[in-house]
Amino acid sequence: MTQRLLRSPRIPRRTFLRGLLGGSALSLGVPLLEPMLNGNGNALASGAPIPRRLGVYMWGNGCKLDRWTPKQSLADGKSEWALSPALELLAPVKPYVSVVSGLNVMSGSDRGHHGGWASVLSGGPIVSQPHPRSVYSSTFSLPSIDQVMASVVGRKTPFASLEVGVSRGVVVNEGTTLRYLSHRGPDNPCPPEYSPQLVFDRLFGAAGTPGSGGKGRSAIAAARADGHSVLDVVADDVRRLRQQVGSHDAARLDQHLDNVREIELRMVKDWPRRPWCKLPTRLPADPFETRDGREPHAEINLAMSKLVALALSCDLTRVFSIMYSGGSGGTTFWEVGQTRSHHDLTHDEPKDQPLVHAATRFTVGEFSRFLRVLKDTPEGSGNLLDACAIMGSSDLPEGRDHSWNDFPVLIAGRAGGALRHPGLHYRKVGGNLSVAPLTVLRAAGIPIEAFGRRGGRVTESITEIET
């Protein structure tokens, strides 16, 4: 039932808290604790470095460039830069963010939103497909940046990569390109999961852990049916682990378990707080479901942010993608006063498009919240964001004209010291967009010589934001 936790100064990084309920196995990863690290807390006890993580956080339909691009940049000889109106909500994490601007699509792609997604994520052109029932259809020709990383490090963790989504308003009838971010290759997407409940069950059930037999969801279902938390099921292992760690790690473990419990309680709002209470026969509705036609974007984003942070912290995966909203999709940002889809407004809203800009600010705020969750998660002598290389971008620079020039790109995290801190504004007018994902891959520790295909192929990264 239980993995033996040896009384030793060292605890293996691949330690899981395990338990059985109703004949089904359940396991829960633990964060990096002091016995897993060297004396300085900046490497594993074995001498290996703390693993670097890679992620993408993408939204659809671009931005308003006149309110996105900071006025100061390295091109002007200035290392300090001020947040633009669109980026102001990044203030709490600004030192962790570099802005990259001026870069153009050169991969040979076309077709607006389709070509943009493929270019920024893979550096390659799209593959056009027959489309008798749609305006257009396509798929990626190359793997996306996250799957390039997963192909190298994916076997080291229970999950090669984790894909989640926030808004379900994506285009579903124009091939895989607009429907999914993550691709292993042509017609081989990695679909995102939009339900925080299902992501929770997938991560914290035993389905993804070694030797589990894939029974994680049934164990969680049994726990819920009996009114138990997953923490009740692994309580014996928690007690054993507490006996081996110091007070600092005990507090770190408490914070980790509190985070698990907080997410667990959000999954079902009426979850009993005492294990002897019984759940009703019919569980309450998904607390993240659409209400009155309004998707709860902020609630879902926060839940997914915490789930991704827990998955990274427990080394269940080192690669993730978050599709906040889709290109050319049906997402409506009601939070800023939109009553029509954001995509339609990028084309139809007159003059300087205040609602389009407001939606961009809102989305940047959601990205900032995700980064803050990582920053607030301790790891070793720093935090989880210190170990990440994250690219945030969109499928177009501006939705109104489907332009290919001056893509909005944010590169966040420190990648174990591979990315400059504090961040800079790097601007190269007419540069190749593929240098951004190549920079992120190299910062994450992937020794890749080139990225992209045709005109999108590059061999040089952005050394100005590297260390």
Task: Give me the chain's average pLDDT, please.
Answer: 88
pLDDT digits (tens, 9 = 90+) for 307-345: 999 999 999 999 999 999 999 999 999 999 999 999 999
What is the CATH number for 67? 3.40.720.10
Is 269 a residue whose pLDDT tops 60?
no
Q: Is the peptide bond before 378 cis (omega within 30 degrees of 0)?
A: no
Percentage of the chain modeled with pLDDT above 90? 63
Specify if 211 maps to a domain: no
- CA distances from residue 463 to 271, 424, 460 in whole angstroms, order as listed: 50, 12, 8
- CA distances from residue 323 to 13, 63, 215, 346 in whole angstroms, order as listed: 30, 16, 28, 19
Alpha-carbon span 132 to 127, nearest angstrom: 16
Specify if 425 maps to a domain: yes
Which of 366, 390, 413, 383 shows the shortest CA–CA distance to 166? 366
Vertex 394, ends 391 and 396: CA angle to 5°? 140
Specify if 204 maps to a domain: no
Q: Where in the sequence is the domain holding 161, given as residue range(s)?
A: 50-195+295-465
Specify if 304 maps to a domain: yes
Q: Of residues 358 and 202, which shows the higher confidence score?
A: 358
| Region 351-380 average pLDDT | 97
Q: What is the pLDDT of residue 219?
A: 63
pLDDT digits (tens, 9 = 90+) for 402-430: 888 999 999 999 999 999 999 999 999 99
Which of 138, 55, 200 shows the shortest CA–CA distance to 328? 138
Alpha-carbon span 231 to 237, nearest angstrom: 10
Is 165 a residue whose pLDDT tops 50?
yes
Specify if 368 maps to a domain: yes
Q: What is the pLDDT of residue 161?
A: 97
Is 9 a residue whose pLDDT tops 70?
no
Specify if 242 maps to a domain: no
Is 270 a residue whose pLDDT tops 80?
no
Confidence of residue 226 (pLDDT cuts 50, 70, 90): low
Q: What is the pLDDT of residue 133?
A: 85
Specify if 2 maps to a domain: no
Specify the DSSP class assigned to residue 180: -
Number of domains the chain contains = 1
Alpha-carbon span 331 to 168, nearest angstrom: 7
Specify if 26 maps to a domain: no
Amino acid, res. 26: L
Is 375 a residue whose pLDDT tops 70?
yes
Which of 7, 31, 6, 25 shows the shortest CA–CA distance to 313? 31
Is 130 a residue whose pLDDT tops 60?
yes
**pTM for this model (two decimals):** 0.88
